A and B are shown apart, each in its own frame.
Chain A
Amino acid sequence: MGVLVDKNTKVVVQGITGRQGQFHTKLMLEYGTKVVAGVTPGRGGQAVHGVPVYDTVAEAVEEHGAEASIIFVPAPFAASAALEALESGIKVLVIITEHVPVRDTIKVVSYAKRVGATVIGPNTPGIIVPGECKIGIMPSHVFKPGSVGIVSRSGTLSYEIAASLTRSSLGQSACVGIGGDPVVGMSFVDALRLFEEDPHTEAVVMVGEIGGNLEELAAEHIAKEGYPKPVVAFIAGRVAPPEKRMGHAGAIVMSRTGSAESKISALRSAGVEVAEKPSDIALLLRKLLRA
């Protein structure tokens, strides 16, 4: 039993013959992910680490019943790959690719809503359900199975936090990276809903950062819906200067929105515990889970 995906989810890798695609296909297979097929147009008939390669996603769905897709296709072609997957009936789409034009992302996200599919990313490390499967590029050794759900806008910071939870014997039900771009498919609110439905998740860690207002919307959701599980948040970028992109395309404080203070105060007024530093997250979780 996983969150959104589990050990039985059949995965197709788009861009499987590229350097990144090959490398991470191997790691996903080693972790136990059911990678059933790969797609690279023009390379149909080949195999990568024993996984058959097709020219189209439709074939991968027809031959192997692929349900989820992970995209390693270069930015200029990523949207086309995503739309192909969605039209072929893929219901969970993870877009690893960085630097996808925002116009392309907007079209993909809009189309996904129409067909009822979930898009994670772009510019994300993906999703891992520890002990079951990973559809992503995260280093699996920092995670272990358990009952804390992690949702994060940042890759390495989520690994740092997962590693510190794991050291404190707080395993994870799932860790999902929603991506560092200004427009992403899955929001914090979407992730909170998934963790709410999952019976194995007992608490949620939300790792936000400056830019946009997804954290504020999550705070509003938590307060309005009376979110039933404890939430601990961490917000990165308190000392970031305004109008400067801090690494992620989406991490930018504009004149009136996106500051760390705004997010922290919104979350605190919604009753969310906000950690001052990453190592405090485990302590706060312990306190909340005991209560």
Chain B
Amino acid sequence: MTAAVLRVGVVGAGMIAGCHVRAYTATPGVEVVAVADPRLPKAEQLASTVGARACSSLEEILDLDVDIVSVCTPPRTHADLTVQAVTAGRHVLCEKPVAGSLADAGRILAASRETDVVVMVGHVSRFEPEHRAAKELVDGGYVGNVAMMVHSLTTSVPTWSEGGWLTDPQQSGGPLLDLSVHSFDYLAWVCGSRATRVHAVAGDSAVGEATYVVATVRYESGAMGQVEASWAHPVARGFKAVVEVTGTAGRVSWDYDSINGGAMYLTDGGTTWFDPLGERGYRGEVAAFVDAVRAGGPSPVPVEAGFEAARTALAAHESLRTGQPVDLTSWAGR
């Protein structure tokens, strides 16, 4: 049990790091003490919002006696940072995808199995309030045996990443690793079954090859899932999720077009849409992580789950390469 205020260091100072910092700040008994980024001014900018120290490396953060490290860097750096922090005895919340390759994901998995610290993968979908409500309904038996699932995340190309790493498929893995990895994790979790087969089709857009993807997943239970991801949509359309879980007794479904917390219109023309979701998912994720740290585990999203979601996404990539389905009961990467 850890009773004192938990000290947090965040590695990375990009978009997701900001979400983590705000979520930790909203969590009682937690203090963000440092933000690290190789670009120090970027670290300073985020650190200054919470009075934390700006650093340029994980080593500096570890020297500050932190209990928790949030890894919010590009996926190809996750393994080194996570293994280093875990080896140093710190609890780690590692952003999704757990890693960009199966080898890296395997290193994190091995490290998590050799330690008593809590290692959690940031599959925030599990903590989004509407996703969570749906999971509870499925677990409550309202849907019966899950048969058909849809998880669609469509948006325009992300423009916020440092040096454009997110839109470089070599660094980010494209929409399958960036967006669909959420879907693969959520659907496997919600239906309580392992993915056994995946195939995918993809289209190219002006923002890159395979920036529109639909993967079809088969599960051990017989259920199937349709996973759509796009960076090819117009900016004006925004980010949209469509989710459906259908079973022998019913269906739970929602989409962002029909979730509306209200709107405020001003005479001078300004309009504010009240977003009922906001950053509640990140707050829920961080709260669950902090609770697990205090309780000494278990991890709310174990590395095994993150590994499987990443493996499914990488197998979908492999399906795009070979033009055939990939058997996930045996596939161990290229």
Q: A and B bound?
A: no
Interface residues of B (CB under 8 A from A): none
